Copies of this chain bind each other. A is one copy, B any other.
């Protein structure tokens, strides 16, 4: 790739002249940290966020060359703009920045849903601006600019969901950005993406939130004992459930169809297993448990566990 070609000084040419991150929480600040550490992602890194507190913190941490309060100003002159905010906020932010996007700029994102991103951003996209939606399959249950770290994306997949008419060069540039973040890049369509993340990520989070709120509804005395003796599997669920409410509310609402489909299947299966427990159907129970183990073995074989 031309972007990899070393300059006269031996340092490769930065991918972007002026890269603007909109939102600088766990994901945005991790990209910023990689960009600062490598130097070959953006010549100038611009960061914007919603609150003054976050902007101040970004300055303290030295995460960007330019910290800009106003998103519209932040994107001016940028050849790359990455949405790193909850997916429910995209349409409103895009409406504000669209008139200020530079011709030829690439707009990308890191959102956990992709159908909604295409739905919300495409109608507002100025002519000559390229949209390349992306989703790094990496995260933790923490949020905010202090939660990020440069190694977050290493060895993890990033999914690109370019549109049919996407500019191949723009797609290549975003793919290269993620490779420089240490990620393995895969391309797929938004519908398939949303179906897969519904089962590997969104349903597990919905389940974790649910079991924790089920526990929270227990009578006070039982709840105290649950907290005391939480070590048996429940604790793992509470870790997942510690994730940011706004982000997850937006994810659920913006992957509604695939999530409800997977939830429906899951609840059917849970009912069937519960029924087998009620009626003492030992073979059925063992069979379902063994299928779970099979999936685990599949992950181990693929070095994903």
Q: Which residues of A contact B (CB under 8 A)?
A: 137-139, 156-157, 159, 186, 188, 192, 195-197, 199-201, 203-218, 222, 225-243, 245-246, 248-249, 252-253, 256, 259-260, 262-267, 269-271, 273-274, 277-278, 280, 282, 285-286, 288-296, 298-299, 302, 304-305
Contact = CB atoms under 8 A, between A and B. Distances in A.
Contact of A253 (B159, B274, B280, B298): B280
Given A241-B296, A289-B241, A269 B229 contact: no
B233 A240 contact: yes
A249 B264 CA distance: 24
8 contacts: A196-B222, A197-B232, A204-B233, A210-B292, A213-B292, A238-B296, A252-B277, A253-B282
Contacts of A186: 229
Given A232-B197, A273-B206, A292 B139 contact: no
Q: What DSSP secondary structure best describes chain A's contact surface? A: helix
B232 A201 contact: yes
A291 B216 contact: yes
B204 A305 contact: no
B197 A270 contact: no
A282 B228 CA distance: 31
Contact of A138 (B231, B234, B265, B285): B231
A239 B300 CA distance: 10
Given A204-B236, A206-B277, 20 more contacts: A137-B229, A196-B229, A199-B211, A200-B230, A201-B233, A203-B211, A212-B293, A213-B291, A227-B298, A227-B299, A230-B304, A236-B236, A238-B296, A238-B299, A241-B293, A242-B293, A248-B285, A248-B289, A256-B277, A263-B270
A192 B219 CA distance: 12
B267 A231 contact: no
A43 B65 CA distance: 70
Nearest to A159: B229
A305 B235 contact: yes
A270 B157 contact: no
